Structure 1
Amino acid sequence: MLGVEVTVQRVDLSNDDRIFAVCVRGRDRQRIPILDLPLPTPAPRGTEWIEAYRRWLRP
C-alpha cells in the first residue's frame, strides 16, 4: 500500500512481540510494522505511544 492513504483497522502483536498495524484500503489489507508506518500531519491522537515505543526499542 505504498504511497496511498489507508485506514488502520487494528493493531496486532506478532509471536515475536513486534507491533503491526493492519491497514485497509477498499478490499486490500496489509500488515505493516508500526515503526514503518508513515504518520500524517498533523499527527493523530495516540501517536505519542508510537514515539514512546521507538524510544524504548533504541539500544
Structure 2
Amino acid sequence: MSTWGPAALEALIEEATVDAYGEDEQLTDFFTMIEESLAVPFTMTVLGVEVSVVGVDLTEDGGVAARCARGTVRQDIGILDLSVRLPARGVS
C-alpha cells in the first residue's frame, strides 16, 4: 500500500480543481478525483473497531465522507475525521 505525501496531494487537488468555477464545482471535481483514485474496498480501524471502507459520498454540508461497513452496520464518516493510509489505484 502506498500513501500520498503533501506535494502529491497538492498536485492531485490542483489537477482536480484547475478548471472548476466556484466552490461547488471545485468540490464536485475534487470528489470525482477521490472516487476515481481511491482503491476500495479496504480495511481500517475506527475507534478500535476494524471496518471496511466501501466507497465515498458527498455530504449535505459540502464535505466528503467514507462509507464504512462492519457486518450489517453502515456509517458514513467524514474523510477529515479519519486517520488512515489510503490506497491509491495504480500506485505501488
- Indicate the TM-score class for this superposition, using the shorter chain for normalisation: 0.5 to 0.7
Q: What stretches of structure 1 of length at least 5 have no aligned partner?
A: 47-59
Give the length in aligned residue pairs.
43
Quick check: which one's helix share is greater? 2
- Pair 1:35 & 2:90 matched: no
The DSSP-based 3-state class of the residue aligned with 2:65 is strand
TM-score (norm 1): 0.60
User: Percent same amino acid among aligned pairs?
Assistant: 49
Amino acid in structure 2 at the alignment position of 1:7:
S
Q: What stretches of structure 2 of length at least 5 have no aligned partner?
A: 1-45
Q: How far does residue 17 in structure 1 lie from its aligned partner after superposition?
A: 1.9
Give per-residue Cα distances to partners, 1:19-48, cap 9 Å, x unaligned: 000100001111100011121xxx3423xx
Which runs of 4 or more aligned residues in structure 1 lie more than 3 Å from their structure 2 counterparts after TM superposition?
none
The residue correspondences of 1:9-20 to structure 2 (distance < 5 A) are 9-20=54-65
Q: 1:21 aligns with which of 58, 66, 86?
A: 66
